[in-house]
């Protein structure tokens, strides 16, 4: 196995370790994006849609999805957390 393959898997596994029910439960409506990043780390993906940001942490099977308006959490949903 090549070094970059090992590095990729380590990054993926490390990123997923932030996706826990305990961390999800710490997120509150009205919390700002920076506070969420302090809890979960950098989002896997964020899309801006008409003044709203939809951000995803994780993948299709195990994730946390959060909607932000003016940098504040307005909606959150989790799938596959332990």
**Domains of the chain: which residue ranges?**
3-79
Residues 2, 72: Cα–Cα separation, whole Å: 42
Query: Rounded to an integer, what distance in angstroms lies between the CA atom of residue 58 and that of residue 11?
Result: 12
CATH 3.30.1450.10 fits 3-79, yes or no: yes
DSSP conformational letter for 32: B
Top pLDDT among 67 and 10 is at 67
| Mean local confidence (pLDDT), 5-25 | 64
3-state helix, strand, coil in the chain (%, to 5): 35, 35, 30
Q: Quote the pLDDT of residue 11.
A: 44
Whether the pLDDT of residue 8 is over 50: the answer is no
Residue of higher predicted confidence among 13 and 67: 67
pLDDT of residue 2: 61
Q: Which of 16, 14, 4 is nearest to 60 (CA)?
A: 16
Q: What is the pLDDT of residues 26-40, one digit of tens each?
A: 999 999 999 999 999
């Amino acid at each position: 196995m090549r070094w970059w393959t090992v590095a990729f898997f380590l990054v993926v596994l490390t990123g997923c370790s932030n996706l826990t029910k305990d961390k999800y439960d710490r997120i509150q409506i009205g919390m700002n994006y920076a506070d969420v990043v302090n809890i979960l780390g950098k989002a896997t993906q964020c899309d801006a849609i008409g003044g709203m940001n939809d951000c995803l942490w994780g993948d299709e099977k195990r994730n946390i999805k959060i909607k932000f308006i003016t940098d504040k959490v307005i909606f959150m949903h989790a799938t596959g957390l332990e």
